[in-house]
Every structure is written in structure tokens, then in C-alpha cells.
Amino acid sequence: MNIGQAAKNTGLSAKMIRYYESIDLLPHAGRTESGYRQYNASDLHRLAFIKRARDLGFSLEEVGKLLALWQDKQRASADVKALAEGHIAELERKIAEMSALRDTLVELAASCQGNDRPDCPILKGIEQGVSCSAAGCAHQSEGAT
């Protein structure tokens, strides 16, 4: 099938499929006499694997490692688990960071009267570099990062 059909069948854009080829996540497709890329069932299966891994938030580098492990029938499942656990730790770090950002914005929004007056604690907090973490909120001038 051509790249448009492969894109439709995998839920990826043709541009993304070409990109995955360019970074060697997908072998370069065979070509027709007129130069059009041709994909087979194996290519579609690999693209679906890549898409699912990306949907789970794995980086392109991690996807490459997962593909190598997926194709290596002699692999140890411990290697796959270690990669997944490393990704989980990174997701947990990002969740904590996002929660702190949310908490900062909640605190700033709660301090705002939301009236017609120009005084705005939200803008003041952004200007002063207010940040929140699990330990609480602080101004950057107080040494918080």
C-alpha cells in the first residue's frame, strides 16, 4: 500500500511516517517504478507498535530501544521492564511538576478578587516568580527555584 493508505491504517500522518523512516525507526520503504513508497503488513505492524509506544509517552530514543527489544527474541524481559520502569519514574516526575504548577496557579487565582480593579495578584505573582512545590509556595527572591 502507498503512504496515504499506510497513514490511514495506522492513524499516523504521512509526514510522520516519512520522519520515522528518516530516523531509522522504520526501514526505508520499497518504491514503485514511479518512486512511490510501498508498505507491507510488517511495516504497518511496526508503525502501530511505534504509535502505541509514542501514545504511552515514550521518547523516540526509548521507542528505538523498545523496537530493538521487540525484535530480539532472545531478550530478557527484565530489560524491557527496566526501560518501562525508567519511563514510569520520568512520568511521575512530570506529574509532580505539573501538580506543583497547578497548585501555584490555584493559589494565585484564589488570591485574585476578579473585579474591575487593576491590582492583580496573578500578574504580580508571575512577575515576582512565585513557585510552588510539595513543600509549599515561595518567591524566587526567597531562594526558591
Instruction: Show the CA angle centred on residue 19, arms to residues 16 and 24, nearest 5°.
Output: 130
Q: Is the pLDDT of residue 63 over 90?
A: yes
The CATH number of 3-57 is: 1.10.1660.10
- Indicate where the chain has its CATH 1.10.1660.10 domain(s): 3-57
Q: What is the pLDDT of residue 16?
A: 97
Q: Please, which pLDDT band fits residue 130 given cuts at 50, 70 and 90?
A: confident
Tens of pLDDT along 21-35? 999 999 999 898 888
Of the two residues 137 and 22, the one the predictor is more confident about is 22
Q: Is the pLDDT of residue 69 over 80?
A: yes
Q: What is the pLDDT of residue 35?
A: 87
Q: What is the pLDDT of residue 138?
A: 62
Report pTM.
0.76
Tens of pLDDT along 98-115? 999 999 899 899 988 888
The DSSP-derived string for 93-142 is HHHHHHHHHHHHHHHHHHT---SSSS--HHHHHHHHTEEEETTEEEEGGG
Q: Please, which pLDDT band fits residue 136 given cuts at 50, 70 and 90?
A: low
